[in-house]
Structure 1
């Protein structure tokens, strides 16, 4: 798998599996605009609860489906979790009341949370080592394409001169399911991970799958290199990995990698939630914009986040993971610190403030995407999905406090001091994250997953068969 040249087969993997992040970004923006608020007579706090419920659903979904992905297979789970999301999101558009809407939001969140674990695992196990970094980072960055798309759709569906107040937001909830149905058909033709099959005693099926993939690659014009026999490994069948073994792997066998994964996920999540959920407040309270105008400033912010992973992802495979993580985390922190100085001096306008955000998150977005790449490739195959889910949850929990903290720092816009301190704090957190990854990280670029971390099911020399 790692020696394969890039062909249309790999594009089918990217589109079929990577579209989940577009759907997540789309969903977040549609709900954030709260088109349902008037119909259900909701207070601002109740609107906020819909987002909280969705995030809680993501945490639960990542936990449950992450473990099931390691136990039952990647393909079953990336079909199941997408189906759950599609059904729940569509039902949300039909919700007769606020309570049913919350239930649908929770279930949709659980589906997307499961997607994060199952999809990252499948992508890393199917994409050749030469391209794994840039592909994983670019796919994770497409969240922002979905977010920009969701904002654009909101301008149309929430326009009461086009749709009635109780119709537009409902139609918007069906955008994701309509797009997702097409993706489900594409996913049906994506194979199960041969790596997962090998560790679960399905060697013949794994061989057939690899033969099918290699045959397709050759038919699409690819040339296969000969595999050196020295690279062969022998695996034994494993079942569900006990939690005590998982704890041993994370805390005893690979404590430095656990530190890196946790630090990267916490720092990027904290910064993103701090800025993303308060940027509108900053533009309104400090620069005098109204709420509708702030929506327009979201587009360049989203584009900067989208472009960064596509432009910088290649260098994670060329210059190396640790170097690029330090660069992306570090530069984003430095740019944010510079903007803090100018913000405190009242030298910025809404436009220049947004430009600084765009530049900072051009780098931060690639860094944040590399956090998901890192936790998905530095732990053993048998618990890959679960590792992703655990670090995802750690990041979500840490980031959950950021909007509240920074909302308090923004205040009523009369004092720039508290928010300036907050921006310096966010900058320092990102720089620390980059330094930790540089010191304790793993040089995983262009290496097979088995070379980065030996499988738990690997037969060691002298092991009884």
Structure 2
């Protein structure tokens, strides 16, 4: 922060910047935000899927690494998630302190470097280390990106856009599945080269996204609170001019303003007190949603290929076809159901998607135990389960990014992601690898049932505690800690901008 910015903190200003951002119609500028920020989940999906699908090839003699399939789907997967958890906490705090843009550039650069170095692994310890660091970068992305997206997207579109972006993870999963088919085909590339190319491609894609992301602005909401109101005003005015020129008409007048006591930072203790004391019920909701979806996804995603090869004798090089199918089902969930989160509402949609996916998973476990499923029908069952589960899982990120005050947003996302994922995402892959590794149907059924139970419990919690945040401004859903008065206390015109109170 510059000397001028530091001097600006401590002032009290009244502004209609949040209202001006929320009243904007959807435009090409908003698509640039979606592309610049949201496409990183495609990389995450690519990473997770590739590792699951190449596990069999990596464990074969001649792969270039002395590693077992269980180590890839168990230990390496757990290290990736552990890195994501620690990265979320480390970068999340800095995102609230230093700003959204600085951090979403840094974290993507970390991911890029770590992925590139994974591709040149020469030993198991090197592979494990850079799987951890790849996750470390991705974890920071979750906090920085979800914060920036929610603060830039208009309130009436926030739910569907957030779900679509988080659901784009599965576009990466489709790409990872299809890429692994080519990479594992020894008639195309040698077995010690193909898996390296998949990681190298992830690094190339990250570089492209990094170049696009340079044009995404800092969050005006964050700038406003941190004493950089003149910069916030310039950014919002520029956005308004672009949108108005595209639409060819005058923008609607913004409704409402808010008074802010500007400050440079918020202490960690104040964040903790706000989240776990002032918003205790919302904290319970966040933990429930994250634990349920994290266990289901991290456990099953990392182990799906192993189930196909072990129980249905699907060749290692063909598992990618099956995974591509369920990945498409996953993406279609948020895409088709996302609008309902803004219209029908958060509480109904969050609780129903969690409960439906849990009940369908119980049914899948029963059919699997009865021996009634083939590789194809199991994949079809998983499509049905994950169509709803994916929308529910995406809504977990939406929920924690919008139900806590602005000053705590990135850290709240990081906190719930890290703790929920640590409970379900680290223990899940390791437990699931052990259960499926026995080759016993009953053990795999147990893993399914655990995931189903946690999803159903989370759905019941959401039915009681979910916040009705649809089509409401972020400042209305959770009043900023720096706010002197709530939004809607007055009405101002565009020209009013920001004024000292």
Query: Which band: TM-score by shorter chain?
Result: over 0.9
| 1:446 equivalent in alignment to 2:466 | no
**Aligned to 2:398, what secondary structure does the other structure show?**
helix
Matches within 5 A, 1:54-65: 54-65=80-91
Shift in alpha-carbon separation, 1:285–1:157, aligned structure 2, 3 A? closer
2:183 to 134, 139, 157: 157
Shift of 1:25: 1.1
Partner of 2:17: none
Alignment of 1:93-132 (within 5 A): 93-132=119-158
Report the equivalent of 1:309: 334
Distance in 2, Cα, partners of 1:97 & 1:346? 40
Structure 1 stretch 32-41 or stretch 135-144: which is displaced more? 32-41
- Distance in 2 (alpha carbons) for counterparts of 1:102 and 1:7: 43
Instruction: Note if 1:136 corresponds to 2:162.
Output: yes
Between 1:448-457 and 1:334-343, the stretch displaced more is 334-343
Map 1:202-213 onto structure 2 (within 5 A): 202-213=228-239
The yes-or-no answer on 1:226 pairing with 2:253 is yes
* Contact 2:333–2:388 (CA under 8 A) maintained in structure 1: yes
Count of residue pairs the alignment pairs up: 459
Q: Which residue of 2 aligns with 1:241?
A: 266
Distance 1:260 1:274 in 2: 21
CA-CA distance at 1:286 after TM superposition = 3.6
- Counterparts of 1:173 and 1:6 in 2: how far apart (Å)? 35
Sort the Cα spacing of 1:207 and 1:149 in 2 relative to 1 into closer, same or farther, 3 A: same
SS in 1 for 2:479: coil
Query: What pairs up with 1:59-458 in 2 under 5 angstroms?
Result: 59-221=85-247, 223=249, 224-228=251-255, 231-399=256-424, 400-410=426-436, 412-414=438-440, 416-458=441-483
* C-alpha spacing 1:251/1:233, structure 2 compared with 1 (3 Å): same
TM-superposed deviation, 1:165: 3.3
Q: Which moved more, 1:94-103 or 1:439-448?
A: 94-103
In 2, the alpha carbon distance for the partners of 1:108 and 1:319 equals 37
The unaligned stretches of length 5 or more in structure 2 are 1-20, 487-500
Measure the CA separation in 2 of the matches of 1:410 and 1:91: 30
Structure 1: distance between partners of 2:241 and 2:261: 27
Deviation at 1:299, TM superposition (A): 1.5
CA separation of 1:184 and 1:235: change in aligned 2, threshold 3 A: same
Please give the secondary structure, in 2, of the residue aligned with 1:459. strand
Alignment partners' CA distance in 1, 2:51 and 2:431: 22
What is the distance in 2 between the residues matched to 1:165 and 1:411?
24
CA offset digits 1:24-56 (Å, max 9, x no partner)? 111223333146552122234543433333222
Check whether the contact 2:49–2:301 (CA below 8 A) recurs between aligned residues: no
Q: Which residue of 1 aligns with 2:30?
A: 10
Return the TM-score normalized by structure 2: 0.87
- Secondary structure at the aligned position of 2:259 is classed as coil
The unaligned stretches of length 5 or more in structure 1 are none
SS at 1:166 equivalent: coil
Q: Provide the alpha-carbon RMSD of the alignment.
A: 2.0
Kindly indicate whether structure 1 or structure 2 has the higher relative contact order, using CA contacts under 8 Å at least 6 residues apart. 2
Shift of 1:413: 4.1
Q: Distance in 2 between matches of 1:89 and 1:294?
A: 23
Q: Specify the alignment match of 2:18 in structure 1.
A: none
Query: How big is each residue's C-alpha offset from its partner over 1:163-183, in whole Å with a ceiling of 9 and x where there is no partner?
Result: 233333332222122222222
Gap change, CA 1:153 and 1:407, over 3 Å in 2: closer
User: Mean alpha-carbon deviation: is it higher for 66-75 or for 84-93?
Assistant: 84-93
- 3-state secondary structure, aligned to 1:277: helix
